[in-house]
Amino acid sequence: MPKDTRPMGKRVKIKTKVSDLIKMMPVKIILFALAGALFAGVYVHLNMEPVAVSSLVPVSSVEGAVPQPSAVGSPDNPEELGAVHWLRELAVGKAQAKASGKPLLILFQEVPGCSNCTRYGNSTLSHPLIVEAIESLFIPVCIYNNKSGQDAAALKRFGEAAWNNPVVRIVCDDDRDVVPRLADFGSSYQLVNGMRRALEASGTAVPPYMELLEAELMARESGLETATFSMYCFWSGEGTFGAIPGVIETAPGFQNGKEVVQVMFNPAVVQKAALEERTHPKGITACSKNEGFRSDKEPKYYLAQTDYRFVPMTTLQACRANSLAGNSKKPDEVLSPRQLALVKKIREQPEKKWKNMIGRNDLAKAWGETGGTSNK
């Protein structure tokens, strides 16, 4: 820039644009500045402690009332936490457990976490019936295993490792384990089985929907077998098989010019020979092979004639509900409170274009499409 040789009294301020200054700066200085800003942003993001809503609310805002779980609420959870409404303070959870008589269900989770942690959140902890059971029958508390402060103190209290895969502990309000530690993060069945055993140990009745869920998860994780049976009418055939213990899934269709039902079952509970023996008096015969099966476009025919067709269900629930409907009985006994609340909502809003949920395997997505309902 040329030197200003004018007298002091006549000098004026020289205005320089920021863009002009940047042009005059060496390239290395600009690059270092940008890199420093980027590093600072990443550091702050990775070390930010999430704000727990429960820490902003007194344990008992109304004397004698039992607060409801209301921490990092779905759908704003980190994916590691699934769709459960977790409390984030152990002390708050213990107070609620003592007041309600419910066991504490504590998730020790890494957030942000590895693929095991996100998979557990996106699968097990996002299953609508598991979410409902956790929120309705337990006091859910989440402890981050990679944070300091109250999280680190809780880890030490229970002897849990930091930076670990997901672990669930179901305990009393005095920290005693109700059931052994649940550390198989690859198994949804282990969690539901542990929850069922914890309820029994606590003297709480296990709801039928939870028993069906446990049976289905155990069967799928241990491995299903498939058999095909022919009959004069696959509508009635599917209704017959859907009521048999051990049968997890049914599908009506055609094979070799005959009406058939393909049956997926748990071989640890029932064998193909037993299925044939039980259904043969109704004119049902086992096929020698499963090849050539072509599915029908109207599965669960009896269920499809009712309002219950709009309710997302597991395959086992749908089997049982279809059998009940085929016998002119209400399927209510196999549904959860939130599913029944959805049935009520469907009947109150007949003008709404509800989607047929029969055959939907993506239960979490299907439940979200209904608008969901909570029994809180």
User: Does residue 16 have a pLDDT over 90?
Assistant: no
pLDDT tens per residue across span 233-250: 999 999 999 999 999 999
The dihedral of CA 13, 18, 24, 25: what is its sign? positive
pLDDT tens per residue across span 152-206: 999 999 999 999 999 999 999 999 999 999 999 999 999 999 999 999 999 999 9
User: Does residue 376 have a pLDDT over 70?
Assistant: no
pLDDT tens per residue across span 320-352: 999 999 999 999 999 999 999 999 999 999 999
Phi, psi at residue 226, to the nearest 5°? Answer: -120, 140
Cβ 227 vs Cβ 246: under 8 Å:
no
Instruction: Choose among 254, 323, 325, 319: nearest CA to 292.
Output: 254
User: Does residue 53 have a pLDDT over 50?
Assistant: no
pTM above 0.85, yes or no: no
DSSP 256: T
pLDDT tens per residue across span 263-302: 999 999 999 999 999 999 999 999 999 999 999 999 999 9
User: Does residue 41 have a pLDDT over 50?
Assistant: no
pLDDT tens per residue across span 101-111: 999 999 999 99
- CA dist., res. 370 & res. 336, Å (int): 15
Domain boundaries, the chain: 68-206, 224-376
DSSP 51: P
Tell me the helices (H) and strands (E) count for the chain, helix number first. 14, 8
Task: Out of 3.40.30.10, 3.40.50.10320, 3.90.79.10, 2.170.190.11, select the CATH number for domain 68-206.
Answer: 3.40.30.10
Return the amino acid letter for 246: G
pLDDT tens per residue across span 58-98: 333 333 333 333 333 344 899 999 999 999 999 999 999 99
pLDDT tens per residue across span 125-156: 999 999 999 999 999 999 999 999 999 999 99
Cβ 107 vs Cβ 164: under 8 Å:
no
pLDDT > 70 fraction of the chain, expressed in percent and rounded = 79
Band the pLDDT of 361: cuts 50, 70, 90.
Answer: confident
User: Does residue 221 have a pLDDT over 60?
Assistant: yes
Grouping H, G, I as helix, E, B as strand and the rest as coil, residue 290 is coil
Band the pLDDT of 372: cuts 50, 70, 90.
Answer: low
- CA dist., res. 357 & res. 370, Å (int): 10
